[in-house]
Amino acid sequence: MILEVQGLTRYFGGVRALDGVDFRIGRGELAGIIGPNGSGKTTLFNVITGIYRPDRGVVSLEEGEITGLPPDEIARRGIARTFQNIRLFRELTVVDNVRIAHHPHVGYGAIAALLRTGAFYREERRTREQAEEFLSIFSLQDRGKALAKNLPYGDQRKLEIARALATRPKVLLLDEPAAGMNPSEVTTLMEFILRIRERFSLTVLLIEHQMRLVMGICERLIVMDFGQVIARGLPGEIRRNRQVIEAYLGKRDDTDGGGIRKKAR
């Protein structure tokens, strides 16, 4: 098991955003989390990565507990993520966005930086070359000098993944990577995800609404609704699961023959 979540619960005011979430992800798996809007998927990511503390429950990475650690510590232990509403360092260049991710691995001290020693130049060159390598995976190598904010939307999404990869994670969490992409972009993205998992022997957990992507590449699915896991299994099983269909389309209602009705609580 590389990532394990047990009984994770988080309240916002009186709302239970997460309500006893359990799941385990094996090393090298590519799993998807789906569920209607507001079902707690992003909150789950935020709790795993330490942005929110859980009110109850445990998160473990490779059998070590990481619950409640600060986000930077969790990142250094090997969980990287992207954000639903892209969060790049907008005023920095594309290369520097990726180079920042190298920060915990840079091999020179503050004194060396201030004096600009040989080690400083060597390391700077190394991180730059590595950053360019990460960019080339996503065919962004020619945009290195551009400011991140000037990239087109699709490239910003890719850059965010490149940046996350550059932290050298064991587990990569992608929050709606295909949001706002057209079908052909989604196809390329699917190939990218498969390729980077192979190349960096990653475990990938992604949140996505685009069923083509989810059904196309995820080996296993976790379905959430109202902060709870309501189903898990292979994509084929999920597709036929009654509870899942109800969560998405509402319960069949006798009076109007199946309109969409939110579960009331």
Partner 1 sequence: MYALIALGYTMVYGIVRLINFAHGDVFMVGAFLAFYSVEKFHLPLPAVFALAAGGAALLAVVIEWVAYRPLRNAPKIAALITAIGVSLFLEYFTALHQVFGPNYYAFPRPFQVVSLEIGGITVTNIQGVILLVTLASLGALQFVVYRTKVGRGMRAVSHDAVTAGLMGVNVNAVISFTFGLGAAFAGIGGVLYGIAYPQINTFMGVMPGLKAFTAAVLGGIGSIPGAVLGALIMGQSETMTTAYLSSTYRDGIAFVLLIAVLLWKPTGILGKARTEKV
Partner 2 sequence: MIFLKNIAKAVLPFAALSVLLQFLSARGILNPYWVQIFQLACIVAISALGLNLIYGFTGLFSLGHAAFYGVGAYTAALLTKLYVGAYGDEAVIAVGAVFLGSLLAGGFAAAFLAFLVGLPTLRLTSDYLGIATLGFGVIMKVLFDNADSLVPQLGGARGMTGIARMTGIPWAVAALVAAILVIRNLVHSTYGRALIAIREDEVAAAAMGIDTFRFKLIGFTAGCAFAGVAGGLYAHLYTFLHPSSFDFMKSFDVLMIVVLGGLGNITGTLVASFAWIFLLEGMRVALPPEYIEFRWVLIPLLLIVTMLVRPRGLFGVREFPFLRSKVYR
Residue 96 touches which of partner 2, partner 1, none (CB < 5 to 8 A by kind)?
partner 2
41 versus 102: smaller Cβ distance to partner 1 = 41
Residue 42 touches which of partner 2, partner 1, none (CB < 5 to 8 A by kind)?
partner 1
Interface residues toward partner 1, by CB under 8 A: 12, 42, 46, 51, 83
Which residue shows structure tokens 């094996």?
26
Task: Say if CB 3 and CB 80 are below 8 A apart.
Answer: no
| Distance, CA of 17 to CA of 31 (rounded, Å) | 21
Stretch that binds partner 2, among 16-24, 88-96, 183-191, 254-262 (CB under 8 A): 88-96
Query: Counting contacts by CB under 8 A, is residue 114 touching partner 2?
Result: yes
| Distance, CA of 113 to CA of 215 (rounded, Å) | 48
95 versus 178: smaller Cβ distance to partner 2 = 95
> Whole-number minimum distance, CB 49 to partner 1, in Å?
9
| Distance, CA of 39 to CA of 17 (rounded, Å) | 7
Stated as kind and residue range, the H or E segment containing 260 is none
51 versus 137: smaller Cβ distance to partner 1 = 51
Query: Counting contacts by CB under 8 A, is residue 120 touching partner 2?
Result: yes
Query: Counting contacts by CB under 8 A, is residue 128 touching partner 2?
Result: yes
Query: What is the amino acid identity at position 262?
Result: K
Q: Residues 167-206: x/- map of binding to partner 2 (CB under 8 A)? A: x---------------------------------------
54 versus 244: smaller Cβ distance to partner 1 = 54
Q: 70 is written with which tokens? A: 């600060």
Task: Say if CB 164 and CB 80 are below 8 A apart.
Answer: yes
Choose among 173, 146, 144: nearest CA to 161: 173
> Whole-number minimum distance, CB 45 to partner 2, in Å?
10
46 versus 127: smaller Cβ distance to partner 1 = 46
Tell me, what DSSP letter sits at residue 89? Answer: -
Query: Counting contacts by CB under 8 A, is residue 95 touching partner 2?
Result: yes
Task: Say if CB 172 and CB 194 are below 8 A apart.
Answer: no
**Pick from 22, 62, 124, 246: which binds partner 2 (CB under 8 A)?**
124
DSSP string of 218-241, one letter each residue: -SEEEEEETTEEEEEE-HHHHHH-
